[in-house]
Structure 1
Amino acid sequence: MAGDVIEIIGLRLPVIKPGDDLVEEILKASKKSGGIRNGDILIVSSKVVAVAEGRMIRLRDVRPSPRAKSLAKRAKISAPLAEMVIREADEILGIGGGAVLTLKGGLLCANAGIDLSNAPPGFAVLLPSNPNKAANEIMKEIKERSGKRVGVVISDSTVRPLRLGTIGQAIGYAGFEPVIDCRGSPDLFGRPMRITLISLVDLLASAAELIMGETSGRKPVVIIRGLKVKFTEKPKLSPIVEKNKDLYSSIFRF
């Protein structure tokens, strides 16, 4: 999967606004690090993708439904935010810790991935409309404009059960195999592994979080360089697990 050394390079971008050419800003920022190279993996924050797409909502313009008002009271969030959670979520699973646990695009996330941090006052940023499509478009545009073949991951922060703090999670990807299948490979003692699968895209998203940060650092794009991945436009495996096959399915009322 990797050599002895990989590089993790943060790219400082200007504040992205709706309609901005995100790929152009990425290419400009990359010049300070020698430009994009063949084999680079780009980890792109879901927030800048969403903002460039115009996926921002002025909360005062949102009219909460009675259901949203009830949800807001139970979750201790604003009624306009609760209304947007209802609209954006595929399923609402529960409430805890001042947030609504939801399922969106096959992923567990708080408040359907709607983010109030680092958004203009009074606004909320939604998740990209189609993260895999966005990753694919960024990959193709970089190839067209720079001639370089890269992989792309759209990342977002997430929390895990019984663990404090956030980690990175891939919500979209393009250009390479997102999961490493270790089944059949020998372990340290020569026994074939039976169930081990490595979610490469999530590991990359978490590595990028170390550079991106969650505050005002303005490094929403990270280059991971030196990693050996299998480039393909037709991945064999998806990191998304069907609900009825998931380890945690017994504790959720799917």
Structure 2
Amino acid sequence: MELIGVPGIPEVAAGDDIAALIAKALRDASIEVVEQDVFVVAQKIVSKAEGRIVHLDSVVPSLRALEWAAAFDKDPRVVEVVLHESKRLVRMERGVLISETEHGFVCANAGVDTSNVAEGTVTLLPKDPDASARKIRAANVALGVSGIAPLIDYRGQKDSHGNALKVTVIAIADELASAAELVMRKSAGIPVAIMRGFNYESRDATALELIRVPELDLFR
């Protein structure tokens, strides 16, 4: 397999066409797309294009945000945004906020991010990551997928010693997204990568398939 970083993606602003920006960057870099290529697109540029940006000077922290921020030297405005974006708080201790988002993702800070954005702003996760992926027909954790099965289910098959596999389901979309980070480092300025040579099942799918039901999720 081969990982190809796509250079030349400019700073993204609200309303930008991500697919068009990727197409131009591919042409400028003389990168040809081949059948079965998987595109991995950083959530950050999708959020920016969709206007999922909060200006912190517009945020009024609640008492809860103020108290927690003071205890752990955090910006209370950022804490307030995290609380607002959280459907449920899973952990809130030792300076770490783990929450469940409205999408069902369990992650740090409800996906609210202060990196690679203008000072005084934060980005939020896309409202509908699957729709975002479908829109650009591309998909470090997978938030949205389009055209690729996000899971490989080995249950019912046998391992190399002949033992029946009972619980092995691989979140292949997450693994592809994680692998892409090797060429999409936050400091590299490359928010798009191509995974080439991976044999995957092509079908309509949703990232919701990656979310465990609560009764089987040890983190809920």
For the criterion TM > 0.5, the same-fold answer is yes
CA distance, structure 1, for counterparts of residue 64 and residue 95 of structure 2: 17
The yes-or-no answer on 1:51 pairing with 2:48 is: yes
Q: Paired residue for 2:10?
A: 14
Q: Paired residue for 1:91?
A: 88
1:183 aligned counterpart, secondary structure? coil
CA distance, structure 1, for counterparts of residue 159 and residue 148 of structure 2: 25
Cα shift at 1:96: 4.0
What is the identity percentage for the equivalent residue pairs of Structure 1 and Structure 2? 35
The yes-or-no answer on 1:128 pairing with 2:126 is: yes
CA distance, structure 2, for counterparts of residue 236 and residue 48 of structure 1: 18
The yes-or-no answer on 1:228 pairing with 2:175 is: no
Of 88-97 and 44-53, more deviation after overlay is shown by: 88-97
CA distance, structure 1, for counterparts of residue 177 and residue 47 of structure 2: 17
Give 2:180's aligned amino acid.
A
Cα shift at 1:18: 1.4
Give 1:39's aligned amino acid.
Q
Is the 2:89–2:97 contact (alpha carbons within 8 Å) kept by the matching residues of 1?
yes
Match among 112, 115, 125 for residue 113 of structure 2: 115
Q: Paired residue for 1:61?
A: 58
The yes-or-no answer on 1:194 pairing with 2:166 is: yes
CA distance, structure 2, for counterparts of residue 228 and residue 33 of structure 1: 24
Q: Paired residue for 1:28?
A: 24
**1:164-243 alignment runs, 5 A limit:** 168-215=140-187, 217-234=188-205, 238-243=209-214
Cα shift at 1:207: 0.3
Q: TM-score, normalised by structure 1?
A: 0.80
Is the 2:134–2:146 contact (alpha carbons within 8 Å) kept by the matching residues of 1?
yes
1:26 aligned counterpart, secondary structure? helix
Between structures 1 and 2, the one with greater strand share: 1
Cα shift at 1:222: 0.6
RMSD of aligned residue pairs (Cα, Å): 1.8
Is the 1:75–1:100 contact (alpha carbons within 8 Å) kept by the matching residues of 2?
no
Cα shift at 1:61: 1.4
Give 1:107's aligned amino acid.
F
Cα shift at 1:66: 2.0
**1:32-43 alignment runs, 5 A limit:** 32-43=29-40
CA distance, structure 2, for counterparts of residue 125 and residue 232 of structure 1: 30
Gaps of 5+ in 1: 1-5, 140-151, 154-167
Kindly report structure 1 stretches of 4+ aligned residues shifted beyond 6 Å. none
- 1:51–1:235 CA distance, 2 compared to 1 (3 A): closer
Q: Paired residue for 1:164?
A: none
Give 2:6's aligned amino acid.
L
Give 1:130's aligned amino acid.
D
Give 2:98's aligned amino acid.
L
